[in-house]
Amino acid sequence: MDIKAVILAAGKGTRMKSQTTPKVLHEIMGKTLLGYVIDNVKNITNEQFVIVGHHAQEVEKFVNDNYKNAKTVLQSPQLGTGHAVSMVCPNLKNYDGLVLILCGDTPLIKEDTLNKFIEFHNSNNSDLTVMSTIFDNPTNYGRIIREDNNSLKCIVEEKDATPEQKAVKEVNAGIYCLNWGKIKDAFSQLKTNNAQGEYYLTDIISWGKAQNLNVNAYILDDSDEIYGINSRSNLAIASKIMNKRYLEKLMDEGVTIVDPDSTWISEDTKIGQDTIIFPFTYIEGENIIGKSCKIGPCAHLRGGVEVCDNVKVGNFVEVKKSKISSNTNVGHLSYIGDSELGERVNIGAGTITANYDPISKTKSKTVLKDDVKIGSNTVLVAPVTVEQGTNIGAGSVITKNIQAWALALTRSPLKILDNWVSKKLK
């Protein structure tokens, strides 16, 4: 099925109170809000159009750097959501498939939900379907107004709603599925006769009704999925919702989360059965963690990490862009960055992979082959390779490659000055 997506990401996000970051590029566990939305539609649609406006260059760079099938379309000036979608009309001039419209600030929507939404649209032979949900407190949301026979009549925005309409608890979830060939003409006929003086996307509902098109509404059961981000407080709430549902999924799949209230794991992290995640562990970005591992407490995985089976990552360990092979132990208070650790490696407490050169601003790789043992408080200055079986003495600074099965250490001779303290006290 030919489906394209239009993602609205042009808004300023005034309530985020940010001078440097557009709303859709704020992050949850190392991933942008817009990234979540694109990821949730990229397997459903064959092309995505992201409408940009405020901080357009930053949003455009993010899209271009991360998504090959997504394109940005500039909305300037920004005259409302209906005007935003109209910006893609030249790109879809001869297109006659489905168009899915979403907001770039709703990271909780699931791919499975979108599939069910499209299935509902098709099975009801709809020309236009809007997603709705039920809120006990519907303030600030557009209300779904139905006909006497319960079919969809129109959507009324909060500022234009009568007291009777404001009492309606079914609200617009902001996601639409359109038969583009039948709906595209609506975008050249929208009016601005509303309280905001804008071109409302919601007006395509009444336009469709006037054209005797088949217009429907699909009620979403889990209203959390369309929770929108408009403030830092919203961002924190959405983060907790996302984290809670993913931890529950992991536990259902056989992962032990010792304390879900203090543990954060990104949805892009895959974890094998019988792995234990100890309290106050924070795992962001994309990672793969194998079976029967122990992570934490107080560990931090920063993304790009592959942990194989039977690995222990101890307390207060930070890992990023590294592979840790099976049966390896990374002791507490260590930093492993841009590294590749073999099997049965033991990393002593306080070990640091010094991967960053602040002069050249480049990062280099540390490679530890199978059976390497690193003593506590060792610094490995990358680029460096330690071959199989080598032992590194505690407190060493390793600046060059070490051959297999060797002992390497850098240590000044121990000096003892007899009675030094007693003399000072006198």
From first to last of its 426 residues, the chain has per-residue pLDDT tens of 799 999 999 998 899 999 899 999 999 999 999 999 999 999 999 999 999 999 999 999 999 999 999 999 999 998 999 999 999 999 999 999 999 999 999 999 999 999 999 999 999 999 999 999 999 999 888 999 998 887 788 889 888 899 999 999 999 999 999 999 999 999 999 998 887 888 989 999 999 999 999 999 999 999 999 998 999 999 999 999 999 999 999 999 999 999 999 999 999 999 999 999 999 999 999 999 999 999 999 999 999 999 999 999 999 999 999 999 999 999 899 999 999 999 999 999 999 999 999 999 999 999 999 999 999 999 999 999 999 999 999 999 999 999 999 999 998 898 999 999 999 998
CATH 3.90.550.10 fits 3-226, yes or no: yes
**Residue 362, φ and ψ in degrees, nearest 5:** -115, 155
Which of 61, 55, 47 minimizes the C-alpha distance to 18? 55
Alpha carbon distance 24, 280 (integer Å) = 27
From the options 1.10.645.10, 2.160.10.10, 3.40.30.10, 3.30.365.10, give the CATH code of 232-408.
2.160.10.10
Tokens of 88: 């893609």
Rounded to the nearest 5 degrees, what angle is found at the Cα of 247, between the Cα atoms of 299 and 114?
Answer: 130
Cα separations (Å) of 424 from 51, 189, 410, 421?
73, 91, 31, 5
| Domain boundaries of the chain, sorted by first residue | 3-226, 232-408
The answer to whether the beta carbons of residues 354 and 379 sit under 8 Å apart is: yes
Whether 121 is catalytic is no
Quick check: helix, strand or coil at residue 64?
helix
Given 26, 55, 83, 332, the catalytic residue: 332
pTM, two decimal places = 0.92
